Amino acid sequence: MLRLENIAKSFYARHEVFDAVSDVSIDVYENEFLTILGPGQCGKSVLLNIIAGLEKPTKGTVDFPASSDTTMGFVFQKTAVFPWKTVMENVELGLQIKGANKKERREKAQYLIELVGLKGFENAYPYQLSGGMKQRVGIARAYCVNPDILLMDEPFGALDAQTRYQMEEEVLRIWQAEKRTVIFVTNNIEEALFLGDRIVLLSACPAKVKEIYIPRLERPRNNIDPDFLALREEIEANTDLAL
């Protein structure tokens, strides 16, 4: 679905060259849930922005072997929901920009609002929603344009632990209902292990691929299962300290 080949990214700041990403090659397969795990400030967001086309790599290529018009949706850590728009208007925005007629976009948005558990909140404004509910709006909005690949950049990083667990279960439920290729960035080992078909472990900055793990764990995964804990420990031992 997506092939990253020898991606590197350097910034020129304060008269110095700063390497954020170095020689990253990853193949991403159709409909897989790929988690990208790495310590804080290691270059995860830079890598995801390169995949999204928001940043240009200094070296390397991003290819879409399956189709040249592969589309992407993005869910950010702090979802940029428009405060003056209702939940419905926020979710249907992408389709509106694409020129879909009102009936078509309302139907699609309504389906997704229900899928993410926000039925009854269609006409609510963001200030009336909790942090977890706003992230649900962000997820519904990203799905609404039918992207081939969904990019999520620490979408639950700002949520409390309880809401975060709940949202991790929700995002898997949605992924199972609406199969899509998902690339999910996190600095949380447990989250990466709970969600990922594969886990790409990055090194500290500049980000390089340290290891790719394929958890042989059935879903729904249980974070107190001995196999889960053993793999968690193995990944933890191999993880660089955050800068």
> Hey, how many other C-beta atoms are within 10 angstroms of the C-beta on 54?
12
| By CB under 6 A, residue 166 contacts ligand ATP | no
> In the complex, what is the shortest distance from the CB of residue 188 to ligand ATP, in angstroms, rounded to a whole number?
10
Q: Which of residues 21 and 95 has its CB atom nearest to ligand ATP in the complex?
A: 21
| By CB under 6 A, residue 152 contacts ligand ATP | no
Distance CA(204)–CA(238), nearest Å, equals 11
Q: Is 112 exposed, middle or buried (0-12, 13-18, 19+ CB in 10 A)?
A: buried
| By CB under 6 A, residue 201 contacts ligand ATP | no
Q: Which tokens is 100 given?
A: 């879909």
| By CB under 6 A, residue 54 contacts ligand ATP | no
| By CB under 6 A, residue 11 contacts ligand ATP | yes
| By CB under 6 A, residue 51 contacts ligand ATP | no
Block residue for tokens 């897989």: 32
| By CB under 6 A, residue 41 contacts ligand ATP | yes
What 8-state DSSP symbol labels residue 153?
E
- The region of 43-51, 60-68, 120-128, 220-228 touching ligand ATP under the rule CB under 6 A is 43-51
Subset of 77-136 contacting ligand ATP (CB under 6 A): none
| By CB under 6 A, residue 38 contacts ligand ATP | yes
Distance CA(185)–CA(200), nearest Å, equals 9
Residues of this chain that interact with ligand ATP (CB under 6 A) are 11, 13, 18, 20, 38, 40-46, 154, 187, 205
